[in-house]
Amino acid sequence: MLAESLFFSAVLFMIGVVGVLTRRNAIIVFMCVELMLNAVNLTFVAFAQVYGVAGQVFVFFVMTVAAAEAAVGLAIIIALFRHKQTVDLSNINILKG
Amino acid sequence: MVHNELPLFYVFHFYLFGVIAIASALAFVTRRSPVAAVLWLVNTMFSLAAMYVLLDAHFIGVIQVLVYAGAIMVVFLFVIMLLNLGHASEINDARGLGWKLAAGLVGLALLAQVFALTRAQVPEKLALPENTVANQVAAQGAIAPIAGPLFNQYLLAFEVTSVLLLAAVVGAVVLGKRRESAHAR
C-alpha cells in the first residue's frame, strides 16, 4: 500500500498548494496549510508501516505543531480582522512599499 | 491487521477512502463559503483517519478524529462565526489569472514528482520484515508500540513540545487580547 499512499498524499498536498496560491480568504489559505500537513502525515504513516513505528511518533509531533499553529494563526487572523475589518489577503499589504 | 496477500476488501476500502479524501479536498478548495469549505475539509480528515487505520496506525486514526476533526476544525468554525465570515457572496476570493497559472505550474511540477515517487524503490536494507507493525499492534495493543519510542527515544522532543505549546498559548492570548485603546473607542 506504500505506493498508493504516496500517490494519495502527493495529490492531497498538490491540492493544498494550489489552494494556497489561488485563494485570497486568509482562513481558507490557512486550512489549505492544514491539508498539506495532513498529506505529509499520510506519508509518515505509510512509511511507518515499512520502516517501523517511529513514523507514527512523528505524526504525533506534527499534530501537536499543527494544533499550536492553528491557535496562533487564528489569533493573528482575529487581530488582523480587528485592524482591517477584512480577511482578504490582497487588502492586507501593510509591508508593501 | 495481519495480511500476507492483501484481501480485496482491504484494497477496495483503501482506494475508496483515498478517492473520498481527494474528492472532498477538491470540493474544499473550490467552495466559496468558508463554512462549507471547513465541512469538506473535516470529511477529508475523516477519510484520512480511516486510511490510517487501514495502514495499521489505529491510535493515530483516533487522534486524527479527536484532534484534527474534533478540535482544530471546530476552532476554525468558531473563528469564521466569530468574525461573521460565513457568507459566500461577500468574498469572491479566487485570485487573478497570473496566480492561477503559477498554481497550475506548481501543481504540474508536484504531479511530476508523484510519478517519480511511485516509481521509486524502497531501500530494502532499511525495511522491516513484512507485517512487523501489524504484529506489534496485535501483540501489544494499538498504543504501546507508539508510547515506547515516544517516552524513551523521543523523550527530549516530547518535553520540548510542552515549551512549544506554552509559547503558542501565551502567543494566542497576547494576540487575541484587545488593546486598551481599542476599548476606549
Q: Is B41 on the interface with A (CB under 8 A)?
A: yes
> Do A47 and A2 contact (CB within 8 A), yes or no?
yes
Instruction: Write out chain B's pLDDT in tens, 185 residues.
Output: 555 677 888 899 999 999 999 999 999 998 888 899 999 999 999 999 999 999 989 999 999 999 988 899 999 999 988 888 777 655 566 777 888 888 888 888 888 887 787 777 767 777 777 778 888 888 888 888 899 899 999 999 999 999 999 999 999 999 888 776 555 54
Domains defined for chain B, CATH in brackets:
1-93 (1.20.120.1200)
Cβ-Cβ contacts under 8 Å for B5 (sequence gap 6 or more): none
The shortest C-alpha distance from A87 to chain B (Å) reads: 9
Interfacial A residues in 55-94 facing B (CB < 8 Å): 56-57, 59-61, 63-72, 74-79, 81-82, 87-88, 90
Hey, where are the domains in chain A?
A: 2-91
Residues in a beta bridge with A88: A25
pLDDT value for A92: 79
Residue A83 in this model has a pLDDT that exceeds 90: no
Q: Is A19 on the interface with B (CB under 8 A)?
A: yes
d(CA B61, CA A26): 28
The shortest C-alpha distance from A94 to chain B (Å) reads: 17
pTM of the predicted protein model: 0.88
pLDDT value for B185: 47
Whether residue A25 and residue B168 make contact (CB cut-off 8 A), yes or no, is: no
Among candidate residues A6, A59, A64, A70, the one with its CA nearest the CA of residue A32 = A70
Cβ-Cβ contacts under 8 Å for A6 (sequence gap 6 or more): A43, A46, B114, B117, B118
Cα separations in angstroms, B108 against B20, B32, B64 = 22, 24, 29
Among candidate residues B41, B42, B46, the one with its CA nearest the CA of residue B30 = B41
Cβ-Cβ contacts under 8 Å for A38 (sequence gap 6 or more): A12, B44, B45, B48, B68
C-alpha gyration radius of chain A: 16
Return the top range by mean pLDDT from A11-15, A93-97, B113-117, B128-132. A11-15
Phi, psi of B89 (to 5 degrees): -70, -25
What is the CATH architecture assignment of A2-91? Orthogonal Bundle (1.10)
CA dihedral of residues A77, A80, A86, A87 (deg, nearest 10): -30
Q: Within 10 Å of residue A96's Cβ, how many Cβ atoms?
A: 5
